[in-house]
Structure 1
Amino acid sequence: MTQTPETAGRTPGLCWIRAVAGLAISGIVAISGVVALAGDAAQARDLRVGLSAEPTSMDPHFHNLGPNNALRRHIFESLVDTDAQMRLKPSLALSWTPRDTTTWEFKLRPGVTFSDGTPFTAQDVIYTFCRIPLVENSPSSFATFVKPFTRVEAPDPLTVVVTTDGPLPLLPTNLTALGMLSAKASGAAGAVTFAKGGCTGMGTPPRSTDFADPKVSVGTGPYVLREYVRGTQIVLAPNPSYWGPKSAFDKVTMKPIPSTGPRVAALLAGDVDLIESPAIQDLPRIEGAGFTVTKGLSNRIIYVHLDQFDGPDWKTPTIKGTDRNPLRDVRVREALSKAVDRKAIVERVMGGVAQAAGEILPYPLSGTTKDFPIVPYDPKGAKDLLTQAGYPNGFEITLGTPNDRYINDEKVAQVIAQMWTRIGVRTGIDASTASTFFTRRNKFEFSAYLSGWGADSGDMSNSLNSLLLCFDPVKGLGFTNRGRYCNREVDRLTVEAMATFEEAKREDLLRQASALAMKDYPLIPLHFEVTPWATAKGLRYVPRIDQYTLVMNVELTP
Structure 2
Amino acid sequence: MTRTLAPSAALSALVLAAAPAHADSVLRIGMTAADVPTTTGMPNNGFEGMRFLGYPVFEGLVLWDLSRTDRLAGLRPGLAERWEQAPDDKATWIFHLRPGVRFHDGTAFDADAVVWNLDRYFKPDSPHYEPPAAGISRARAPLLAGYRKIDERTVAITSAAPASYFPYMVVYLLFTSPASFEKVGRDWAKVAALPAAGTGPFRITQVRPREVVELARNDAYWDRESLPKVDRVRLMPIPEANARIAALRAGQVDWIEAPAPDGIPSLRQAGFVITTGSYPHVWPWFYNIGAEKSPLKDVRVRQALNYCIDRDGLVTFLNGTAEPAVGWLKAGDPDFGAPQNRYGLDPKKGRALLAEAGYTEKNPLALKVMISTSGSGQMQPLPMNEFLQENLKQTCNVDVSFNVVEWQVLLNAGRSAPDSPALQGAHALNVSSPSSDVAVMARYFSSANVSPKGFNFPQWTDARFDAALKELAGATDPATIATATRAAHERLVDDPPWLYIVHDLNPRAMSPRVKGLVSPQSWFVDMTRISVQ
TM score, norm. by length of structure 1: 0.79
Question: Does residue 172 of the first structure (1) align with residue 167 of the second (2)?
Answer: yes
* Alpha-carbon shift at residue 183 of structure 1 (Å): 3.2
The question of whether the paired residues in 1 share the 8 Å contact of 2:410 and 2:429 is answered with: no
Query: Of 272, 278, 299, which aligns to 1:291?
Result: 272
Q: How does 1:99-178 map to 2 (within 5 A)?
A: 99-100=86-87, 101-133=90-122, 134-137=129-132, 140-144=135-139, 145=141, 147-155=143-151, 157-178=152-173
Q: 1:444 to 1:368 in 2, by over 3 A?
A: same
* Alpha-carbon shift at residue 154 of structure 1 (Å): 2.6
* Alpha-carbon shift at residue 553 of structure 1 (Å): 4.1
Q: What's 1:232 paired with?
A: 211
Q: What's 2:25 paired with?
A: 45
Q: What's 1:376 paired with?
A: 344
Question: Does residue 546 of the first structure (1) align with residue 522 of the second (2)?
Answer: yes
Cα separation, 2, equivalents of 1:379 and 1:500: 41
* Alpha-carbon shift at residue 519 of structure 1 (Å): 0.9
Q: 1:44 to 1:120 in 2, by over 3 A?
A: same
Q: 1:238 to 1:87 in 2, by over 3 A?
A: same
Question: Does residue 82 of the first structure (1) align with residue 69 of the second (2)?
Answer: no
Cα separation, 1, equivalents of 2:160 and 2:299: 36
Amino acid at match of 2:398: V
Aligned pair count reads 480
Cα separation, 1, equivalents of 2:337 and 2:36: 33
Q: How does 1:363-442 map to 2 (within 5 A)?
A: 367-369=335-337, 374-393=342-361, 394-405=364-375, 406-422=378-394, 423-441=396-414, 442=416
Cα separation, 2, equivalents of 1:227 and 1:496: 48
Cα separation, 1, equivalents of 2:133 and 2:483: 33
Q: What's 1:466 paired with?
A: 443
Secondary structure of 2:56's counterpart equals helix
Q: How does 1:311-326 map to 2 (within 5 A)?
A: 314-315=292-293, 325-326=294-295
Q: What's 1:40 paired with?
A: none
Q: What's 2:475 paired with?
A: 500
Q: 1:76 to 1:365 in 2, by over 3 A?
A: farther
The question of whether the paired residues in 2 share the 8 Å contact of 1:301 and 1:454 is answered with: yes
Secondary structure of 1:510's counterpart equals helix
Amino acid at match of 1:470: S
Cα deviation, 1:377-413, whole Å, max 9, x if unaligned, reads: 1112212222222222213222321121211212221
Secondary structure of 2:488's counterpart equals helix
Secondary structure of 1:296's counterpart equals coil
The question of whether the paired residues in 2 share the 8 Å contact of 1:266 and 1:272 is answered with: yes
Amino acid at match of 1:336: L
Query: Of 328, 338, 341, which aligns to 1:360?
Result: 328
The question of whether the paired residues in 1 share the 8 Å contact of 2:28 and 2:236 is answered with: yes
Cα separation, 2, equivalents of 1:491 and 1:444: 27
Amino acid at match of 2:399: R
The question of whether the paired residues in 2 share the 8 Å contact of 1:123 and 1:154 is answered with: no
* Alpha-carbon shift at residue 93 of structure 1 (Å): 1.6
Cα separation, 2, equivalents of 1:219 and 1:91: 13
Q: 1:128 to 1:534 in 2, by over 3 A?
A: same
Cα deviation, 1:393-449, whole Å, max 9, x if unaligned, reads: 213222321121211212221121112212222222333332343345543331123
Cα separation, 2, equivalents of 1:381 and 1:139: 44
Aligned residues: percent identity?
23
Q: What's 1:91 paired with?
A: 78
Amino acid at match of 1:153: K
Query: Of 192, 197, 200, which aligns to 1:212?
Result: 192
Q: Note the residue ranges of structure 2 that are not aligned, 5 or more in a row.
A: 1-22, 67-71, 123-128, 417-421
Q: 1:205 to 1:126 in 2, by over 3 A?
A: farther
* Alpha-carbon shift at residue 303 of structure 1 (Å): 0.6
Q: 1:147 to 1:175 in 2, by over 3 A?
A: same
Cα separation, 2, equivalents of 1:372 and 1:534: 39
* Alpha-carbon shift at residue 352 of structure 1 (Å): 1.2
Q: What's 2:462 paired with?
A: 487
Q: What's 1:531 paired with?
A: 506
The question of whether the paired residues in 2 share the 8 Å contact of 1:63 and 1:142 is answered with: no
Amino acid at match of 2:116: Y
Cα deviation, 1:129-165, whole Å, max 9, x if unaligned, reads: 221123314595212527534342233x222233444
Q: What's 1:334 paired with?
A: 303
* Alpha-carbon shift at residue 206 of structure 1 (Å): 5.0
Cα separation, 2, equivalents of 1:444 and 1:490: 27
Cα separation, 2, equivalents of 1:364 and 1:395: 32
Secondary structure of 1:119's counterpart equals coil
Secondary structure of 2:351's counterpart equals helix
Cα separation, 2, equivalents of 1:512 and 1:251: 47
Amino acid at match of 2:193: D
* Alpha-carbon shift at residue 481 of structure 1 (Å): 2.4
The question of whether the paired residues in 2 share the 8 Å contact of 1:298 and 1:547 is answered with: yes
Q: 1:83 to 1:366 in 2, by over 3 A?
A: farther
Cα separation, 2, equivalents of 1:267 and 1:277: 12
Cα deviation, 1:82-122, whole Å, max 9, x if unaligned, reads: 12241212221222222322333222222211111122212
* Alpha-carbon shift at residue 272 of structure 1 (Å): 0.8
Cα separation, 2, equivalents of 1:260 and 1:185: 35
Q: 1:242 to 1:365 in 2, by over 3 A?
A: farther
The question of whether the paired residues in 2 share the 8 Å contact of 1:303 and 1:527 is answered with: yes
Amino acid at match of 1:538: R
The question of whether the paired residues in 1 share the 8 Å contact of 2:164 and 2:476 is answered with: yes
* Alpha-carbon shift at residue 221 of structure 1 (Å): 0.7
Q: What's 1:308 paired with?
A: 289
Secondary structure of 2:386's counterpart equals helix
Q: 1:338 to 1:213 in 2, by over 3 A?
A: same
Cα separation, 2, equivalents of 1:488 and 1:426: 32
Cα separation, 2, equivalents of 1:355 and 1:410: 18
The question of whether the paired residues in 2 share the 8 Å contact of 1:132 and 1:142 is answered with: yes
* Alpha-carbon shift at residue 55 of structure 1 (Å): 4.5
Amino acid at match of 1:544: P
The question of whether the paired residues in 1 share the 8 Å contact of 2:93 and 2:156 is answered with: yes
Moved more, 178-187 or 299-308: 178-187
Q: What's 2:488 paired with?
A: 513
Cα separation, 2, equivalents of 1:461 and 1:112: 28
Query: Of 222, 231, 237, which aligns to 2:201?
Result: 222
* Alpha-carbon shift at residue 376 of structure 1 (Å): 1.7
